[in-house]
Each structure stands twice: as structure tokens, then as C-alpha cells.
Amino acid sequence: MSSTVLKASDLTRSFEGQEVLSDVSFELDEGSLTALLGPNGAGKTTLLRMLSTLLTPTQGWFEVCGIPYTNPSKIREQIGVLPESNGYYSGWTAQEYLVYFARLSGHPPDAAKSLSRDLLTDFGLGDATNVPLRAFSRGMRQRLGLAKTLVNDPAVVLLDEPTLGLDPSGQVTLEEYIQSMAEDRGAAVLLSTHDLQEAEATCDDILILNDGQLVSDEHAPTVEDSDVERTLLFRVPREAASTARDVLSESEFVEEISVEETVQSSELRVTIVDSAESTDGRRGSASNRVIRRLVDADVPLLNFEVETTQLRDTFFELTEQ
């Protein structure tokens, strides 16, 4: 049985007398991946900054691995954080960057070097070890940012909109790395995102904040043990449409495909059936597997959208949008 590594109770935060987060209570288990959703200004970043010990609660409390929030330096030893805007020294190499943070977290020089080499390999950056960060794409930077969160082997990882601004292929790749942080390393990952498809496709649990209050800490509203039908829309260059159709028709999740030609591109409307049984109990992951097939077949994805999700309906209902 997995143990609870983060407990938050009645967390409340005010700025200049104005409450922006009210009585937020939840728990995160080891090895879990939880989405933190909410409209702009709902309080997601404020919550993450509190859990990162950058802000103190006005009321309420939280603990990480039994360490109370009143001991921030000990909590920092147990958490990894990727903020929304992560700073990078553009002249540094990826290796120098990770060694710096590994040394900061207490590793001696040789251990820091070997840890950073391992992490760069794990996050698909093994070939970029000595490349200066100014030459990194956004996707590479975000993977490096994920690697950085792990230098202290944290129990809890806090990620603020890590996939923002990535192309569809970069997004799916990053989501896979995020999933492996929970599944393979056992970290409890809290992922703030505006992308409902991402939350549904990658996360075990969903927290929805609205106006500073938690409106849902239930499991994702996709039905865990029955089939869920979704429609995915892919826009690809016209010359790639037939490859895309062939690749998709081989997927066990795909029920129906239709293709519409426009002047410059083709739009594929793909109905998939996502069954918890066929995806090892990970709800929603069928859509990511379908996208992964296209990415692996080198089909350029100009755009990708999910036309229908149950989470979308629930989100709009709960946040009264």
C-alpha cells in the first residue's frame, strides 16, 4: 500500500486582507500523479508556492513526509519544484546546470557529476550534456527542468504548467517523463495545468480549484472501469495524411477515422475508445498512446485537440464557466 507523503489541511492564504486560497485540504500518496486545475486566478500558483515554502499559510497547515511547514529547510530537502518561469543561465551547459543544483542539495563533486549524467540520460538529454543552454529548445529546457527537480530524490514534485508552449509532440514526450517520475521513481507529483486533455490522459487524480476553493478532489470523472469514447482532431500536412491514417488504423483504440482536406493541411477526426482495462488502469492514456504512434511515425502534428472529454464538462460545471 502506498503511503501518504503530503498532507494539507485547511490551507488559507490572504494578500493584503484579501483571501485568495481558502480551506484547501488534500493528500498526496507516494507514486501518484495529480492534476491541479482551475481557471486563471483560481489560486494554483499560490498553492504551489506555499507547498514550495516560498509563501507561508495565513491559516491551516501542511506537512511533507511528516515534516511540518514550520520547518521549511527540511521540507525543501523532500521536494522538487519546477516553477512556471524557470531561470536558466544561458551560457552554462546542461551538465553544469545540473551539477550546480546537485551540489546545492548537498552532493559531493563526483557524486553530483555522476548524478547529473544519469539524469540527463534519463530525460533524453544524454547527447546534449555539453551543449550550452542557449541552444536548447523549449522542450529540452523543460526536460532539463524536470531533471533538476530530482537532484535531491524528492518525495514530492511540484510542477507549474510545465507543458505550456510545447508543440504536441514535445508535450506528449514531457508528459511521459512526468508519468515516469511518479511510476518509476515513486514521487508524488502535483501538476498544475490548463490542459484538460493532459490532466485526463496522464493523471490519476484531479484537484480543481475555483476562486481559491477546492471544488473537487474526487477521482477524474472519466469512468474508471468502463469504456469512454473520445474524438480527437489532428491537423497534419496534406502529404502526411495517408501515413497518419495508416498508422492510426493500426491502433487498437481507434474506432473510426475521417479525413477532411483543406487548402494547406488535412484534418483527421479520430474516434477512440479508452478503456481502463486495455490501458493498465491508467484512464485517458489511450489518447496519448494514439498521439505517440503518430509522433513515432514522424507525422508532423500541426495541431491537436480533444473534441470531447468528460472532464471538460465537469470542469465547466464545477467552475461555473
Ligand X SMILES: Nc1ncnc2c1ncn2[C@@H]1O[C@H](COP(=O)(O)OP(=O)(O)OP(=O)(O)O)[C@@H](O)[C@H]1O
Q: Please give the residue ranges that form the binding site for ligand X (CB under 6 A).
A: 15, 20, 38, 40-46
* Nearer to ligand X among residue 45 and residue 266 (C-beta): 45
Decide: residue 162, CB within 10 A, 0-12 exposed, 13-18 middle, 19+ buried. buried
Q: Least Å distance between CB 48 and ligand X? A: 8
- CB-nearer residue toward ligand X: 22 or 314: 22
Alpha-carbon distance of 5 to 27, in angstroms, equals 8
Q: Nearest CA to 147 among 91, 80, 54, 100?
A: 80
Phi-psi category of residue 173: left, alpha or beta, with phi > 0 → left and psi -120 to 50 → alpha: alpha
Q: What is the dihedral sign for C-alpha 283, 48, 23, 215? A: negative
Q: Which is nearer to ligand X, 20 or 318 (CB)?
A: 20
Q: Give min distance, CB of 193 to ligand X, in A.
A: 9
CA atoms within 13 A on the CB side of 314: 21
> For the CA atoms of 289, 296, 136, 116, what is the dihedral angle to 10 degrees?
70
79-82 and 67-68 beta bridge pairing: unpaired
Quote the least distance from Cβ 198 to ligand X, whole Å: 14
Residue 194: CB minimum distance to ligand X, A: 6
Q: Which is nearer to ligand X, 41 or 281 (CB)?
A: 41
What is the identity of the amino acid at 66?
G
DSSP 156-212: EEEEESTTTT--HHHHHHHHHHHHHHHHTT--EEEEE-S-HHHHHHH-SEEEEEETT
Query: At closest approach, how far in Å is the CB of 46 from ligand X?
Result: 3
Q: Looking at beta carbons only, is 44 or 76 nearer to ligand X?
A: 44
Sort strands 18-29 and 4-15 into parallel, antiparallel or unpaired: antiparallel
CB of 256 to ligand X, least distance (A): 35
CB of 161 to ligand X, least distance (A): 7
Q: Which residue number, 46 or 95, has a Cβ lying nearer to ligand X?
A: 46
Taking each helix axis from N to C end, the angle separating 94-104 and 138-149, rounded to the nearest 10 degrees, works out to 20
Which residue's CB is nearer to ligand X, number 44 or number 245? 44
Closest CB 16 distance from ligand X, rounded Å = 6
- Pick between residue 41 and residue 72 the one whose CB is nearest to ligand X: 41
Q: How far is the CB of 82 from ligand X (least distance, A)?
A: 14
**d(C-alpha 231, C-alpha 229), whole Å:** 7
134 burial (CB, 10 Å; 0-12 / 13-18 / 19+) is exposed
Cell triple for 127: 547527447
- Using the minimum distance from each CB to ligand X, give the nearer residue, 30 or 195: 195
Query: Where does residue 143 fall: left (phi above 0), alpha (psi -120 to 50 degrees), or beta otherwise?
Result: alpha
